[in-house]
């Protein structure tokens, strides 16, 4: 979405006005940011069809645009928008027609586009390429060198939640002393149901973690006696919600439209590494141990997921 450049100045103005309208009405910051971006795609569709004024918009065009979203293909396996993502576009379209009516610009009939069935239990994963894009997004974003320690922290965060497959709460409770760089082992002391486990990491992951722990973390921690692995901008232990926000920021920095549409959460990184390990031939019992599952039944869900990906 961020790569779509609108040439029509009136469309640019309306997008900005729509954003301000949402803000004035008190919608959440994420809604104020995302909904106008979805409407930018509608405007872009209008421009491609030589429509230059908002008064030319009607329900037929909106529905054609939405059908294009449903059929949109991309160059990766398993492409296309999920039902959850399509519903976000629908939310934007419905809210935009409200804005047009309340602002007095135009009155459109009820859209009557059915919401997509959204299976909230569907497992969302990222491709290896998308994981690489997240790592890449941690580099060179800030010109001011004072932010470099936080970029190193973000790479360490990706390493813990993707490469080591930790749960959100497990990553939050990690301390520096839980990392054994000599043996390349991570000690998860507070796993699910207080179950401990040891998680291996490779040489590349060790480099990311060492760069953060030895070079960057000392620059941002407030109290040198603080043993927390992840440190916030205030110099204290970073809470899990802040980690989730940082991941969302990395997602938006990628400028990849398909990746930006995904509901990327810390647990999605865990789902992704499990899927990638299975695709690379790791036995299910080892993946189960790696993830800290109490039984193979919990891990078998990934076999069905890999099978569905292979058929796409």
Catalytic residues: 167, 192, 267, 270, 293, 302
Write out the two tokens for 8. 């029509």
Alpha carbons within 13 angstroms on the beta-carbon side of residue 302 total 25
Q: Which residues contact 310 (CB under 8 A, 6 or more apart)?
A: none
Q: What's 267-301 look like in SS3?
A: HHHHHHHHHHHHHCCCCHHHHHHHHCCCCHHHHCH
Residue 299 and residue 284 in contact, taking contact as beta carbons nearer than 8 Å: yes
What gap in Å lies between CA 35 and CA 23, rounded to an integer? 11
Closest CA to 175 of 186, 159, 164: 186
Contacts by 149-152, CB closer than 8 A, 24 or more apart: 149/212, 149/215, 149/216, 149/217, 149/219, 149/220, 150/216, 150/220, 150/233, 152/208, 152/211, 152/212, 152/215, 152/216
What gap in Å lies between CA 173 and CA 190, rounded to an integer? 7
Q: Which residues contact 114 (CB under 8 A, 6 or more apart)?
A: none
What gap in Å lies between CA 245 and CA 236, rounded to an integer? 16
Strand 179-180 and strand 197-200: the pairing is: unpaired
CA 190 to chain centre: 25
Write out the two tokens for 292. 């800290």
Partners of 89 in the β-ladder? none
């Amino acid at each position: 979405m961020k790569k779509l450049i609108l040439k029509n100045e009136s469309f640019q103005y309306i997008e900005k006005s729509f954003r301000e309208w949402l803000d004035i009405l008190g919608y959440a910051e994420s809604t104020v940011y995302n909904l106008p971006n979805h409407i930018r795609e509608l405007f872009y569709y209008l421009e491609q069809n030589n429509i230059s004024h908002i008064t030319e918009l009607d329900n037929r065009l909106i529905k054609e645009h939405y059908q294009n979203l449903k059929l949109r293909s991309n160059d990766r396996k398993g492409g296309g928008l999920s039902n959850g993502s399509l519903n976000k576009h629908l939310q934007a379209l419905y809210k935009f027609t409200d804005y047009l009516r309340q602002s007095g610009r135009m009155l459109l009939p009820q859209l009557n586009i059915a919401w997509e069935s959204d299976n909230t239990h569907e497992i969302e994963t990222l491709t290896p390429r998308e994981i690489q894009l997240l790592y890449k997004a941690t580099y060179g974003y800030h010109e001011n060198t004072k932010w470099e320690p936080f970029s190193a922290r973000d790479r360490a965060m990706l390493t813990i939640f993707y490469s080591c497959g930790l749960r959100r709460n497990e990553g939050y409770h990690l301390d520096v002393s839980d990392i054994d760089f000599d043996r390349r082992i991570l000690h998860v002391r507070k796993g699910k149901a207080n179950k401990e486990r040891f998680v291996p990491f490779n040489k590349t992951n060790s480099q990311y973690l060492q760069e953060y722990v030895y070079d960057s973390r000392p620059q941002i921690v407030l109290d040198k006696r603080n043993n927390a692995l992840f440190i916030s901008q205030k110099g204290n232990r970073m809470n899990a919600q802040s980690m989730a926000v940082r991941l969302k920021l990395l997602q938006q920095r990628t400028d990849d439209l398909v990746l930006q549409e995904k509901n990327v959460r810390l647990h999605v990184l865990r789902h992704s590494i499990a899927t990638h390990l299975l695709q690379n031939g790791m036995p299910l019992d080892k993946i189960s141990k790696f993830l800290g599952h109490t039984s193979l039944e919990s891990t078998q869900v990934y076999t069905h997921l890999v099978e569905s990906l292979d058929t796409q």
